[in-house]
A and B are shown apart, each in its own frame.
Chain A
Amino acid sequence: AQTVTQSQPEMSVQEAETVTLSCTYDTSESNYYLFWYKQPPSRQMILVIRQEAYKQQNATENRFSVNFQKAAKSFSLKISDSQLGDTAMYFCAFMRYQGGSEKLVFGKGMKLTVNP
């Protein structure tokens, strides 16, 4: 069974600093997708970044980048130049799609607070 583990339930960082959120997963699949979602106090789920397992290059989206280590089954998110608006819950998620069947699994989430 696929599992996603976010070992840090809560973190805080000063504005403008860099922070890394960790995520590990467990699967026997070779082809899958990984995501980081952000949930601010408004409760809206916002896609931050995605990574396809067959791509070796780490995904980046502006201040957000990932360190994808397929062999170690690790998918950490780095936020550079943290901003107050980055304060939110962050969820790591794993998805595999095969022959009309889909499995999407989320981690338990991590609360990030950016302090002024």
Chain B
Amino acid sequence: EAQVTQNPRYLITVTGKKLTVTCSQNMNHEYMSWYRQDPGLGLRQIYYSMNVEVTDKGDVPEGYKVSRKEKRNFPLILESPSPNQTSLYFCASRARQGFEKLFFGSGTQLSVL
């Protein structure tokens, strides 16, 4: 089954403790991206990657890091989480020319205390 897998689904952590949210897709997609969703703000793009070793900033990249060493994986790294990073996070992928279909993961609800 074609899917984007995010882990974990829920995460509670404390300020300053480094964490990684994993994202993996099994569709051989070139493009992957991360979004955060906050009430009243919709989804905002954090980072995206057009292919292996190619990443670029979205609208809200501060406080986040990403890497794309393999085509299937695109982890989101919070080196020193802060409470304002408490949010619902989504990973997504699509084929290079597949603008009609963005596949989303199930989301990760992160709480930073």
**Interface positions of A (Cβ within 8 A of B):** 4, 33, 35, 43-45, 47, 50, 52, 91, 93, 95, 97, 100-109
Name B's interface SS.
Answer: strand
User: Can you name 19 A-B residue pairings with CB atoms under 8 Å?
Assistant: A33-B100, A35-B102, A43-B106, A44-B106, A44-B107, A45-B43, A45-B90, A45-B92, A91-B43, A102-B31, A102-B56, A104-B33, A104-B45, A105-B59, A106-B35, A106-B42, A106-B43, A106-B44, A108-B42
Q: Is the CB of B50 within 8 A of A33?
A: no
Name A's interface SS.
Answer: strand
Q: Is the CB of B104 within 8 A of A45?
A: yes
Known pairs A91-B42, A105-B59, A107-B42; list 10 more (Cβ under 8 Å): A33-B99, A35-B102, A43-B106, A45-B43, A47-B102, A50-B99, A97-B99, A102-B31, A104-B48, A106-B42
Q: Is the CB of B88 within 8 A of A43?
A: yes
- Closest Cβ neighbor of B41 among chain A residues: A108
Within 8 A of A (CB), among B34-75: 35, 40-45, 48, 50, 56, 58-59
Min Cβ gap B90→A in Å is 6
How long is the Cα–Cα vector from A99 to B33 in the complex, in angstroms? 17
